[in-house]
Amino acid sequence: MATSATLATAIPLPALDEQCVNTLRFLAVDMVQKANSGHPGLPMGSAAMAYALWDRSLKFNPRDPHWPDRDRFILSAGHGCALLYALLHVTGFDLPLEELKRFRQWGSRTPGHPEYGKTPGVEATTGPLGQGLTNGVGMAIAEVALGARFNRPGHQIVDHCTYVLASDGDLEEGISSEAGSIAGHQHLGKLIVLYADNHITIEGSTELTFTEDRMARFAAFGWHVQRVEQSNDVDAVALALKNAQEQKDRPSLIAVRTHIGFGSPHKQDTAAAHGEALGVDEVRLTKEGMNWPVSPSFHIPEEALAHFRGAVARGSATQAEWELRLKAFAQEYPDLAFEFQRVIDRGLPADWDSGLPAFVSADGPMATRVASGKVIEILGPRLPEMMGGSADLGPSTHTSIDGAGNFEPEDWAGRNMHFGIRENAMGAILNGMALHSGLIPYGGTFLVFCDYMRPPMRLAAMNALPVIYIFTHDSIGMGEDGPTHQPVEQLVGLRSIPGMVVLRPADANETVAAWHVAIGRKQGPVALVLTRQGLPVLDLKSYPAIMTGVPLGGYILADAPATERPDIILIATGSEVHLALEGRERLATGGVHARVVSMPSTNLFASQSDDYREKILPAGVPLLVIEAGSPVGWQSFVGPRIAVIAVDAFGSSAPGPVVMEHYGFTVENICRQAHHVLDQLKEKASCV
Ligand SMILES: Cc1ncc(C[n+]2csc(CCOP(=O)(O)OP(=O)(O)O)c2C)c(N)n1
Closest CA to 166 of 271, 51, 37, 79: 79
At residue 101, what is the residue type? K
Predicted confidence (pLDDT) per residue in 287-332, tens digit: 999 999 999 999 999 999 999 999 999 999 999 999 999 999 999 9
Nearest atom in ligand 1 to 39's CA: 21
For residue 187, how far is its CA from the centre of ligand 1 (angstroms)? 28
Ligand 1 atom, smallest distance to 258 CA: 20
Backbone angles phi, psi at 607, to 5 degrees: -90, 0
Q: How many C-beta neighbours within 10 Å does residue 96 have?
A: 11
Cα gap 657→480, rounded to integer Å: 10
Q: CB-based contacts of 612: which residues, under 8 Å, 6+ apart?
A: 552
Gap from CA of 468 to ligand 1 centroid (Å):
29
340-388 pLDDT, tens per residue? 999 999 999 999 999 999 999 999 899 999 999 999 999 999 999 999 9
**Positions in the chain whose pLDDT score sits under 50:** 1-9
d(CA 77, CA 91): 21
E strands in 243-377: 252-256
Element (H or E) spanning 149, and its range?
Answer: helix 131-150
Would you say the CB of residue 201 lies under 6 angstroms from ligand 1? yes
Cβ contact 499:463 at 8 Å: no
Question: Which residues are registered as beta bridge partners of 527?
Answer: 469, 502
CB of residue 133 inside a 6 A radius of ligand 1:
no
256: Cβ below 6 Å to ligand 1? Answer: no
Contact 604, 517 (CB under 8 A): yes
Residues 414 and 129: their CA atoms lie apart, in Å, by 30
Give the Cα separation of 163 and 72 in Å (integer): 6
Over the stretch 191-219, which tens digit does the pLDDT of each residue have?
A: 999 999 999 999 999 999 999 999 999 99
Main-chain dihedrals φ then ψ at residue 541, nearest 5 degrees: -65, -40
Question: How many angstroms separate the alpha carbon of residue 130 from the centre of ligand 1?
Answer: 10
Please tell me if the CB atom of residue 167 comes closer than 6 angstroms to any atom of ligand 1.
yes
Ligand 1 midpoint to CA 36 (Å): 19
The reply to whether ligand 1 has any atom less than 6 angstroms from the CB of 79 is yes
Catalytic residues: 423
CB 169 near ligand 1, within 6 Å: yes
Residue 449 is classified by DSSP as G
Residue to substitute in 257, 274, 454 for testing ligand 1 pocket (most ligand atoms within 8 angstroms of CB): 274
- Please report the pLDDT score of residue 638 as a whole number: 55
Does the C-beta of 490 come closer than 6 Å to ligand 1?
A: no
Report CA(304)–ligand 1 centroid distance (Å). 31
Q: From the CB of 203, is ligand 1 less than 6 Å away? A: no
Pairing verdict, β 204-205 and 200-201? antiparallel
Neighbouring residues of 680: CB distance < 8 A, sequence distance ≥ 6: none
Q: Which atom of ligand 1 is nearest to the CA of 206?
A: 16
User: pLDDT value at position 6?
Assistant: 44
Q: Which CA distances in Å does 509 have to 350, 502, 513?
A: 22, 17, 6
So what's the pLDDT on residue 7? Answer: 45
Mutate to test the pocket of ligand 1, among 129, 135, 199, 210 (most ligand atoms within 8 A of CB): 129
Indicate the burial class of 177 (C-beta count within 10 angstroms; 0-12, 13-18, 19 or more).
middle
Identify which of 162, 215, 166 has the alpha carbon closest to the alpha carbon of residue 189: 162
For residue 127, which atom of ligand 1 is closest to its CA? Answer: 25
Q: Is any atom of ligand 1 closer than 6 Å to the C-beta of 149?
A: no
What pTM did the predictor assign? 0.96
- CB burial string 648-677: b at 16+ within 10 A, e below: eeebeeeebeebbeebbbbbebbbebbeeb
The pick from 29, 46, 79 for probing ligand 1's pocket by mutation, whose C-beta has the most ligand atoms within 8 angstroms, reads: 79
Cα 302 to averaged position of ligand 1 atoms, centre (Å): 34
At 683 the pLDDT is 85
